[in-house]
Structure 1
Amino acid sequence: MDKIDLSEVCQNYRARVIRVTPLDDCYLLETNRGPKELHVWPRVDVMRWSFAWRERLARLGFRELERFIRTRDSKPFVIVGKQGVTMTDHLRNVATYQPQMDTTFQCGRVVAMMHQSQQESNLLAGVDYLQQEQLKSETEWTRAKALVESYRSKFRKEKGEKRWVGSLMEPMLQRMERSTTMLSNDSITADTIGVSHRDLFRDNWGMVGGKLYLRGFFRPVLSVQQRDVASYLRDIYLKNQDLREIDSFLDGYEEVKPLSYGDYTLLLAFMARPREIWKSVESYVKRVSVNEDVPIAGIEQALNSQQSIDALLRHIADRAERPRSEEVHEPL
């Protein structure tokens, strides 16, 4: 937790603080105006951006989210040195959100509204974050090729588990190459690239009074909006493996913010990364190279997840090929 003078910060607000409890990601305040949360932002520009999209989203009609409480001077945040501090209401009774057909459509609409609100800001440039994703993908692919070459030179003549792991490496490299290539596809245009949170998950939703509630994003790692959607679709599909929920979410999203062919290309590029397989294979190789006894259960589990993701990839690729008011592109 960042070191700040809490008493000085709290004096900026109308609430009288009774007790302060440090949590993992914020301070929980008991005040005469109810429980509050105090969040410290390492980047002031991200805090300003977050305030702007929250207010725009509320003006669009969705108010079930954490908004910044204003100070005595009507400011939405406090600047302390090079950091920012915000106060929000703390909700005690937030029920766990379980994706279902009747809520995923609304989730899609809200996420699209959030992305529209974020894209209206000029504080952060989406193209910069896409370039970061492209560089990261290329770097990781290069690292994977070096690791595979090292493994093959050392264990080429091995049998059993080591040979089986080796057989997984070429398909893994092909997936990484495909993902890297798609991230630079010509169908992706700068005007469709907006900044959002790198990963949106089910944990960012709750149920309050029977209504969907959007929560979190107080210390966000940022990326492009298409990664936001890709992460969420992966998350809900691995939970229930119901393609109808995927279509429901995307139908809701596209009702507000239609997806272009380039948007779908980016979605598939992020989903195509064999994240679980690469992570488990890399861990296996590092440990087996120093003669550690390494179980392959993690790799087997990663393969099962990848099979599910492959079904999701095919479904979204088919959806992307539906007739749309754009020029014909090479099939994804």
Structure 2
Amino acid sequence: MDKIDLSEVCQNYRARVIRVTPLDDCWLLETNRGPKELHVWPRVDVMRWSFAWRERLARQGFRELERFIRTRDSKPYVMVGNQGVTMTDHFRRIESWEPRPATARQCGRVVAMMHLSQQESNLLTGADYLQQEKIKAESEWAHAKALAESYRSKYSKEKGEKRWVGSLLSPLLQRMERAAVLLGHESIPAGELTVSHRDLSSDNWGMVGGKLYLRGFFRPNLSVRQRDVAGFLRDAYLARRDLEEIDAFLDGYEEVKPLDYGEYTLLLAFMARPREVWRSVESYVKRVSENKEAPIEGIEQALRSQQSVDHLLRHIADRAERPRGEQIDEPL
């Protein structure tokens, strides 16, 4: 938890603080105006960007999210040295949301509205973040090639599990290469490279007063918005294996912001990275090289997950090939 003078910060707000409780990523304040949260932002530019998209989203009509409470001087944040501090309302009870198709469609609409709100900001540059993603993917691929070469030179004549793991290396490298290449595909429109959160997840959603509520993003990792959607859909499908939920989300998204072929390509590029398989194989190879026990159960489980991801990839690729607008149902 960041060390700041809480009493000095709280004096900037109209609320009278009764009790302060440190949480994992913020302070919980009991005040005469109800419970509040105090968040510290290491990056002031990200804080300003976050304030801007939250306000734009609220002006679009979606107010079920954490907005920054203004100070006595009507400022949306307080500066403490090189850091920014924001105050938001705290809800004591946020119920879990049920990812039914109808709810998933609403989530898609809200995410598209959020992305449009973020698109209006020029504080952060999406092209820079895509370049970072490309560099990371290429670096990971190069590391995997070196690891595979070393493993083959030592264990190419082995039998059993070591041989089986060796047989996975070529297709794994091909997938990693393909994912890296897709990130630079010519169909990706430069104008669509705007910044969003890298890790949108089910934890960012809840129900408050019977309404869908968007929360979090106080210390966000950032990337381009297509990674935002790709990660969310990938995790959702691995959790429930429901293509109807996937289509509902994308239908809702495209009601607000249609996706062109290049954006679908970028979605597929982020989904195509064989993350679990690579991590499990990398862990196995390292343990073998250190003469440690190296069970293969993790690799087997990762391969099963990859089969599900492949099914999702094919489904979204088919959707991308349809004429634009065909997959969107007219709202009732």
Cα distance in 1 for partners of 2:18, 2:178 equals 56
- Is residue 55 from structure 1 mapped to residue 55 from structure 2 by the alignment? yes
Instruction: For residue 209 of structure 1, report the CA deviation from its aligned partner.
Output: 1.2
Cα distance in 2 for partners of 1:176, 1:98 equals 34
Letter paired with 1:301: Q
- Is residue 310 from structure 1 mapped to residue 307 from structure 2 by the alignment? no
Are 1:97 and 1:203, in contact at CA under 8 Å, matched by a contact in 2? Answer: no
For the residue of structure 1 that corresponds to 2:291, the secondary structure is coil
The aligned residue for residue 301 of structure 1 is 301
Structure 2 unaligned residues grouped into runs of 5+:
326-332
The aligned residue for residue 275 of structure 2 is 275
Instruction: For residue 298 of structure 1, report the CA deviation from its aligned partner.
Output: 1.0
Instruction: For residue 324 of structure 1, report the CA deviation from its aligned partner.
Output: 3.0
Deviates more, 1:163-172 or 1:268-277: 163-172
Identity %: 79
The aligned residue for residue 83 of structure 2 is 83
The alignment of Structure 1 onto Structure 2 pairs a total of residues equal to 325
- Is residue 38 from structure 1 mapped to residue 38 from structure 2 by the alignment? yes
- Is residue 210 from structure 1 mapped to residue 210 from structure 2 by the alignment? yes
The aligned residue for residue 330 of structure 2 is none
Cα distance in 2 for partners of 1:158, 1:3 equals 55
The aligned residue for residue 288 of structure 2 is 288
Instruction: For residue 98 of structure 1, report the CA deviation from its aligned partner.
Output: 2.4
Provide the aligned C-alpha RMSD in A: 0.8
For the residue of structure 2 that corresponds to 1:55, the secondary structure is helix
Letter paired with 1:256: V
Q: 1:91-240 residue pairs with structure 2 within 5 A? A: 91-240=91-240
Instruction: For residue 235 of structure 1, report the CA deviation from its aligned partner.
Output: 1.3
The aligned residue for residue 329 of structure 1 is none
Deviates more, 1:94-103 or 1:108-117: 94-103
Letter paired with 1:158: E
For the residue of structure 1 that corresponds to 2:294, the secondary structure is coil
Letter paired with 1:208: V
For the residue of structure 2 that corresponds to 1:117, the secondary structure is helix
Cα distance in 2 for partners of 1:98, 1:148 equals 42
Cα distance in 2 for partners of 1:280, 1:196 equals 29
Letter paired with 1:10: C
The aligned residue for residue 330 of structure 1 is none
Letter paired with 1:75: K
Q: TM-score, normalised by structure 1?
A: 0.97
Instruction: For residue 14 of structure 1, report the CA deviation from its aligned partner.
Output: 0.6
1:49-100: CA deviations, max 9, x gaps? 0000000000000000000000000000001111010000011110112211
Cα distance in 2 for partners of 1:137, 1:28 equals 39
Are 1:271 and 1:313, in contact at CA under 8 Å, matched by a contact in 2? Answer: yes
Cα distance in 2 for partners of 1:277, 1:97 equals 30
Instruction: For residue 301 of structure 1, report the CA deviation from its aligned partner.
Output: 1.1
For the residue of structure 1 that corresponds to 2:79, the secondary structure is strand
Cα distance in 2 for partners of 1:27, 1:42 equals 15
For the residue of structure 2 that corresponds to 1:79, the secondary structure is strand
The aligned residue for residue 7 of structure 1 is 7
1:2-39: CA deviations, max 9, x gaps? 11111100110011111111111101111111111000
Structure 1 unaligned residues grouped into runs of 5+:
326-332
Q: TM-score, normalised by structure 2?
A: 0.97
Cα distance in 1 for partners of 2:164, 2:90 equals 51
Letter paired with 2:264: Y
Instruction: For residue 112 of structure 1, report the CA deviation from its aligned partner.
Output: 0.2
Cα distance in 2 for partners of 1:207, 1:264 equals 30
Cα distance in 2 for partners of 1:97, 1:243 equals 18
For the residue of structure 1 that corresponds to 2:174, the secondary structure is helix
- Is residue 28 from structure 1 mapped to residue 40 from structure 2 by the alignment? no
Deviating beyond 3 angstroms after TM superposition, the runs of 4 or more aligned structure 1 residues are none
Cα distance in 2 for partners of 1:85, 1:256 equals 32
Cα distance in 1 for partners of 2:163, 2:290 equals 17
